[in-house]
Structure 1
């Protein structure tokens, strides 16, 4: 049996930060998948553990010695409406370990039963959302985007009741921490400045130690969190990712992508695209994500105002400056990423228009986001224009844009082959397309996890064109399209 060297720093905070929570017993746990590479990264030795032992641990049936077994308290703005108490309603923090790089990591069971924050829910997770989060979080890791990770997925052997009866499952999630903007809001709503300070000091020590000892550490914390979020959201947009539910309780102060409920990736490019079934008004559409991140950060800054300066006006002014800086940082990072996607070297004032012109042509012609940028890399390497034009309903528009693009890159001293290699290193060939995830889920619901395993394997090398996984580069046929994704609670 594996030994967890837990060192549970969050549990050392005052008791009002969490509630004790014990996993409910799973009737007949069965291992779906165990992430052995991540376990090694976490300094966990499972070499001698059987599948049955792993299933017992990661269903919550056999809680390791030293586990925290707590549900974290938090609040949050959900679709713009503030809810003063949310908390981990179906997640239990098993504990914290220090990985082989010396970084502290949370290990959390998601779907392990009722907690004090379950709000009349069953605290369980259905199989479909567990498979989705496992696939997408590990795909994000392979794409190089900061994210929570999936350590294990386990069937519970029991049904959960949503619209229909579904197989129950538990996901073991790994994160730098599970502290959210909503965690700060929980205490701000109660006027508990002492708790806000303790939480801010904990976050600085854990995620931003370079801020310790500064004259204005809490203002610096707002700026630091804003900088990480600017980078994160720019990276999302660069691969066509739509989070789907960017509530303040789903925004981690560590700067990792967290909570893969109704998330999805673009097929055809449309900045207004929404997949989430609960996002009726498009609040969290693809192009709205930077603005929502900034709005969420404003809510974060509000919680820290009492700690920032003696005069309220000075605190507000400093916080507003941090939010303005977020916009600048995001735009600069977005431009940098899309310049690289287009194979541009250096910076020219007309680059923004060149990028936006391509995106507008893609939108008008319903061009596939991932395939278009991948095709452009091939054109950069010497393939003919039809390779790109084939992705457009109106190839004339693509041809006109290519002429502008060639003028921009004519001073690039790299060989075509070098330019293609550089572009293919940032433009994935394979993403977790919605219809492929749905295939894996439907097969899993029927008891077949080979589709899940094959998709998972394909997603581990997203920037390579591996013949065995060529089918995963294809966009969905009309009848395969998935237009709605679901939260899974």
Structure 2
């Protein structure tokens, strides 16, 4: 394992033409302090986590110092926000500091979110606050623990720098780590400014660094778009299966690698509500939970339109069909896993529809329903409706569905079924109220809950008896929390 000054950098993105971004120096925070470091992410970077908890680390990632190998750049991109094209986007409060090369040849972007003003800040101050930084820090850990493609966060650093949102808060930085920070909006920027040669250059860059196996394809750019469609389908299938709502699926928040990106007003389902809107600013419900698959297609269509100068229309349409097929296949498999079903039967569609109706009509907690079911042996099912009494008073309806479920699993090995379900249905998710409690404590200088949440979110399928209360149902106030884009 390495110390920070032993990292090896290979900054490929900053070697692209200047139109791809602007060199910017981070603006320092006042009296910075460490809130938390994620040891799993440190390990991915081959860093010794014990060597990071010091003033050098804090100063470097709060903009008060620099590190040899850094070449900070604010990336330029555009995108569609709530369906409308916006040409004035880019890294407005973050910088790509550099690209770390591991001993295994893996490349990781180091990105500093909350680093201050850039040419793309528009009317913003370029800052992040403790609240939003902790939300992203914990969310990326939660998604990683659930096995969902995501960006990561190495650490959160707080400060005494005042920042003004709806009220005065304090500035923070988040060290985001990702295989790439390239978004759909990078291609849209080059298309809408008619820089088609640079569009080709960016496509070549993506293939070289992220899809090298496609270099020998008959149509490399078409193959690249197919891969992006497939990756996006896998990501969104996981979102839907686990009950995650992103909240702001603008094209500038969509990763070309299919990584969950830019955590803002996200939310995990509490009571099952397919039309759940986690973003208080989403007045039309464009990004409601049940709209995410179709919005994924809309966003990919926007990307395909931007790639039209280098990909034939028929190939774009074919890739979009791949997205829809892949999403359906992946989601179906993930949902079968949640019920311990190893193969597909014709009647499964009806079984799942009855289940979704049961959950919706009775306002049952999505996560705890599946987790409770994961501990019930087949012979216990006829008398197990009472186990769901903390989720609903209508145990008669639960019993009716359990009878249908018992009939479906009659020929399945019960130990194998339960084992599959326990590793497919988390006990712990990052409920909004838990994130809020952690933020409230952190703003008072107590980071204990941040660390406790990090522990359970790393392994959400395990029991963690010392943190049993963190698996509880959300209180009423927690279900009613309003989260907006400014979060």
1:445 match: 443
**1:287–1:50 distance in 2 versus 1, CA, 3 Å:** closer
**1:475–1:106 distance in 2 versus 1, CA, 3 Å:** same
1:354 pairs with one of 351, 355, 358: 351
Q: Give 1:55-94 correspondences, 5 Å limit.
A: 55-94=58-97
Q: 2-side partners of 1:380 and 1:203: how far apart?
A: 48
Q: 2-side partners of 1:237 and 1:125: how far apart?
A: 28
Cα RMSD after superposing both structures:
1.5
Q: Give 1:11-30 correspondences, 5 Å limit.
A: 11-30=14-33
Residue 45 (structure 1) shift = 4.6
8 Å CA contact 1:335–1:352 kept in 2: the answer is no
8 Å CA contact 2:34–2:53 kept in 1: the answer is no
State whether structure 2 residue 270 is matched by structure 1 residue 273: no
State whether structure 2 residue 124 is matched by structure 1 residue 121: yes
8 Å CA contact 1:381–1:419 kept in 2: the answer is no
- Runs (4+) of structure 1 moved beyond 3 Å? 44-50, 380-383
State whether structure 2 residue 225 is matched by structure 1 residue 222: yes
Q: Give 1:232-381 correspondences, 5 Å limit.
A: 232-308=235-311, 315-380=312-377
2:396 match: 396
* Per-residue deviation, residues 141-188 of structure 1 (Å, max 9, x unmatched): 111111111111111321101111001100000011100000100111
Q: 2-side partners of 1:230 and 1:238: how far apart?
A: 12
8 Å CA contact 1:435–1:482 kept in 2: the answer is no
State whether structure 2 residue 163 is matched by structure 1 residue 166: no
8 Å CA contact 2:129–2:171 kept in 1: the answer is yes
State whether structure 2 residue 417 is matched by structure 1 residue 419: yes
* Per-residue deviation, residues 440-462 of structure 1 (Å, max 9, x unmatched): 11112222222222222222220
1:36 pairs with one of 29, 34, 39: 39
Secondary structure of 2:304's partner? helix
2:54 match: 51
Residue 209 (structure 1) shift = 1.3
1:312 match: none
Unaligned runs of 5+ in 2: none
1:467 match: 465
Unaligned runs of 5+ in 1: 309-314
Q: 1-side partners of 2:43 and 2:334: how far apart?
A: 31
**How many residue pairs get matched?**
481
Q: 1-side partners of 2:51 and 2:334: how far apart?
A: 43
**1:382–1:107 distance in 2 versus 1, CA, 3 Å:** farther
2:209 pairs with one of 201, 206, 209: 206
Secondary structure of 1:212's partner? helix
Q: 1-side partners of 2:265 and 2:286: how far apart?
A: 13
Greater alpha carbon shift after TM alignment, 97-106 vs 388-397? 388-397
Secondary structure of 1:463's partner? coil
Residue 381 (structure 1) shift = 5.9
8 Å CA contact 1:378–1:387 kept in 2: the answer is no
1:476 match: 474
Residue 49 (structure 1) shift = 4.7
Greater alpha carbon shift after TM alignment, 181-190 vs 472-481? 472-481
* Per-residue deviation, residues 193-237 of structure 1 (Å, max 9, x unmatched): 111111111111122111112121111111110101111000011
Q: 2-side partners of 1:95 and 1:142: how far apart?
A: 26
* Per-residue deviation, residues 334-355 of structure 1 (Å, max 9, x unmatched): 1100011011121112212211
* Per-residue deviation, residues 76-104 of structure 1 (Å, max 9, x unmatched): 10000100120000001110012354221
1:133 match: 136
1:197 match: 200
8 Å CA contact 2:127–2:163 kept in 1: the answer is yes
Residue 43 (structure 1) shift = 2.5
1:2 match: 4
Greater alpha carbon shift after TM alignment, 437-446 vs 68-77? 437-446
* Per-residue deviation, residues 262-306 of structure 1 (Å, max 9, x unmatched): 011000111100011111111111110000001000011111111
Secondary structure of 2:308's partner? helix
1:311 match: none
